[in-house]
Amino acid sequence: MERYKENQIKVYNSLSKKKENFKPITEGYVGMYVCGPTVYSNAHLGNVRTFMFFDIVYRYLLHLGYKVRYVRNITDAGHLENDADEGEDRIAKKARIEKIEPMEVVQRYTVDFHNVLKNYNFLPPSIEPTATGHIVEQIEMIKEIIAKGFAYEVNGSVYFDVLEYNKNEHYGILSGRKVEDLIHNTRTLDGQSDKKNPQDFALWKKADERHIMRWPSPWSDGFPGWHLECSVMSTKYLGEQFDIHGGGMDLKFPHHECEIAQSKTCSGKTPVNYWMHTNMLLLNSQKMAKSTGNFILPNEILSGENDILPKAFTASVVRFFNLQANYRSILDFSGEALEASEKGHTKLMEALNLLDKIESDKTSTFNVQEWENSCYDAMNDDFNTPILIANLFEAVKVINHIREQNASLTAPDLLAFKKALNSFVFDVLGLTNENHQANSEKINGVVELLIKLRKEARENKDWALSDQIRDELIVLGIQLKDGKEGTTFSVN
């Protein structure tokens, strides 16, 4: 269904710092690139927040009927320990410490990342390209930037010439940083650096003898700079200009600023129409850090194996909690807040279970269309999930009123209400009714046991007990049916 025709989304564009009407380059199609993880350690909860938000963007665009190509990369080489092109490659360092191959590090943490995302019910992206899978293309892009006069080689490494670029373009257009200020903010590199200017950034680094992750190039055996892979892979899969580029706000500078400079140098075009950035996540009002112990892994929340939270929480509750905050606000993760979300989540799921049992009436006391429109309005307004969730709780109220016979819906309204509610809860927000499933499995087990006991009672001609089991189950809404194949049951 081409719902996008009647739903004008507004996107807060980090580039213009304004909400803008979203208009894709090609009608009906959306190209979206999100910077993926550097796979040198377990998936970080802050990253999960970022990817979860873009999962919602992806889900909603699909719901509106857009054909979406969603590209999220895996950084498996070239990401150095700090942004000043200094220090070791993060993956190579981990490999050295653990005495394993860098590709073993990459494999281990890519598997972990996928496992976390699967647990949290993420839709997989359309393409998940890797940096090491695109070394040839990265070398080609460096050649192009050198040929255009915006990069230079020194001792086997190649750097992007920020000052040259800034003569006619605006380096800092996204982050608001000024090139002059960057000189003072950049650590002076005690004569070690080959860079002409401290603002310049590496496109290619010559590998020293310790460095195992290396590839031949016209300049040296080495490896690409981190920023380059995203320019290369977004251009390759989405074109020189595409619709949405996302990531955590910590990537605005230097990573995304450098991406813009590289891509614009090659194509002469503004690469991205809408930049979207998610805000950070705190744990108990403080920055999450392994060193201070204020740290939790996404899977530890599910298993309950941690010292931070009072108990385990389901993935759907964590998702619900995340989406109760706007993506541009700081999210403060805590046991208390999660417990509050769990209550809300249960209320919502209980209402959805009730909805299946509700019967229609002759008149409607609730305007379903108006309510549905307000759900779309919330999502159209820069993917405002907290407002959508507030609307879902309006629906919960209505369901409870119907149950108490204080409200009613006609058959077509009831059908439309169920359809819209289910699609917003499960398709758009990606929540799951885990407790419902787990409980119904338990109920099935218990009823099967009672059926067995009733059969034994009948075999012993204990009709009183047999009838008691049947009658008391009826009171609970469970109907036993005796047939040739044995006894079956239905739950009302």
Q: Which residues bind Zn ion (CB under 5 A)?
A: 35, 230
Least separation in angstroms between CB 403 and Zn ion = 49
Give the residue with the Cβ less far from Zn ion, 260 or 414.
Answer: 260
Pairing verdict, β 242-248 and 272-278: parallel
The CA-CA-CA angle for residues 89, 92, 95, to 5°, reads 150
Q: Which is nearer to Zn ion, 213 or 230 (CB)?
A: 230
Residue 109's closest CA among 261, 295, 278, 299?
299
In the bound complex, what is the minimum distance in angstroms from residue 383's beta carbon to Zn ion? 21
- Residue 75 Cβ vs Zn ion, minimum distance, rounded to whole Å: 7
Of the pair 35, 260, the CB lying nearest Zn ion is at: 35
Q: In whole angstroms, how close is the CB of 34 to Zn ion at the nearest point?
A: 8
**Least Å from the CB of residue 276 to Zn ion:** 13
Q: Which is nearer to Zn ion, 34 or 296 (CB)?
A: 34
35 vs 141, which CB is nearer to Zn ion?
35
Minimum CB separation of residue 228 from Zn ion in Å reads: 10
Q: Which is nearer to Zn ion, 257 or 342 (CB)?
A: 257
Two structure tokens written together for 489: 């049951």
Residue 177 or 436 having the CB closest to Zn ion: 177
Give the Cβ contact number of residue 272 at 10 Å: 26
Nearer to Zn ion among residue 105 and residue 228 (C-beta): 228
In one-letter notation, the amino acid at residue 199 is Q
Q: 125 or 430: whose CB is closer to Zn ion? A: 125
Of 203, 293, 250, 230, residue with least CA distance to 74:
230
Shortest Å, Cβ 73 to Zn ion: 7
Q: How far is the CB of 135 from Zn ion (least distance, A)?
A: 16
Determine how many CB atoms are found less than 10 A away from the CB of residue 436.
Answer: 14
Taking the complex as a whole, the smallest distance from the CB of residue 351 to Zn ion amounts, in Å, to 40
Closest approach of Zn ion to the CB of residue 33, in Å: 8
Q: In what order do the strands lie in the sheet with 67-72?
A: 67-72, 29-34, 242-248, 272-278
Q: Which is nearer to Zn ion, 203 or 230 (CB)?
A: 230
